[in-house]
Amino acid sequence: MKVYSAIVTRRMSSFNQLLIYGKGVGKMKRLVLFILVLLVLVIPTKEIHAQRVVVLSDTLNVRSGPGMKFEVIDKLEKGDSYFIDKIEGDWVQLAWPVEAWVYKGLIRIEESRASFEQLQIDFQNWLLDKYYRVRSIEFKSEWQIWLKLREYPSKKTLQDMTKDIALEYKKQTGYSKRPVVVTIFWKDRPYVTGKY
C-alpha cells in the first residue's frame, strides 16, 4: 500500500510541476493540437445519400398527386434535378414542401452523395442568378437565411420573394426538418421575414 501511494504521489507531483513550472508545456500543446487535428479528420462532414430525379423531357408536369387526374402545380425543364421522397408505381414524389409528383417515364433516377454545404452553395448560386437585387447571403443555420439587397421594392414583393426563396431552398437541398425562415435586412435591421 505504501509503494502504491508513493507512485501516485510522484505522478501527482510531476503533474503539479507541469502546471506550476510549465515543464513539458510544449509537448502538452503538441499533444492537444494533435488530438484536435485527429478529431477534425475523424468527424465526417454531413453528407446526404439520397436519390434524385433528373428531368429528361423538355418540360415535365408536376402534379399534386400520383396520377394524370391530379392538378398540374408546376412545370420542370430538362436537366432540373430534385430529391425523391418516395416512389409509388409509375410516379415519383419529390421532396418538396408541398405534395409534388412526376411521371417516372420522363425522368432518370440517380444516387446523390453531396454534402449539405455543397447543396447550399448550389442554392446560393441559383439565388444570385435569379435575384439581381441580392447583395449578400448568410446561412445562419440549416433553416435560417439572411439577405441584404441592393434595392428594396414594396413589402409585398419582398414577401413573395421570401416565399419563393424558402420553397426553392427546400427543393434544392431536400431540407424538411422544420420551416425555412428567410429574413431580408435593411440597414442591419430585419425588414421582412417569411417562414415556409
Q: Is the pLDDT of residue 9 over 50?
A: no
Q: Is the pLDDT of residue 84 over 50?
A: yes
pLDDT digits (tens, 9 = 90+) for 67-78: 999 999 999 999
Cα(25)–Cα(19) distance, integer angstroms: 8
* Spatial contact of 95 and 85, defined as CB atoms under 8 Å apart: yes
Q: Which domains are assigned to the chain? A: 2-42 (no CATH), 47-114 (2.30.30.40), 116-195 (3.30.70.2960)
DSSP 71: P
pLDDT digits (tens, 9 = 90+) for 26-38: 666 666 555 655 4
Lowest mean pLDDT among 49-58, 89-98, 141-150: 49-58
Cα(115)–Cα(119) distance, integer angstroms: 7
CA distances in angstroms from 150 to 132, 168, 177, listed in the order given: 8, 21, 31
CA distances in angstroms from 117 to 6, 49, 75, 123, listed in the order given: 54, 14, 27, 10
pLDDT of residue 98: 85
SS3 of residue 111 by DSSP? strand
Q: Is the pLDDT of residue 190 over 90?
A: yes
* Spatial contact of 63 and 72, defined as CB atoms under 8 Å apart: yes
Displacement of CA 87 from its chain's centroid (Å): 23
From 111, 129, 134, select the one nearest 50 (Cα to Cα). 111
Lowest mean pLDDT among 20-24, 72-76, 124-128, 176-180: 20-24
User: Which is more confidently placed, 98 or 29?
Assistant: 98
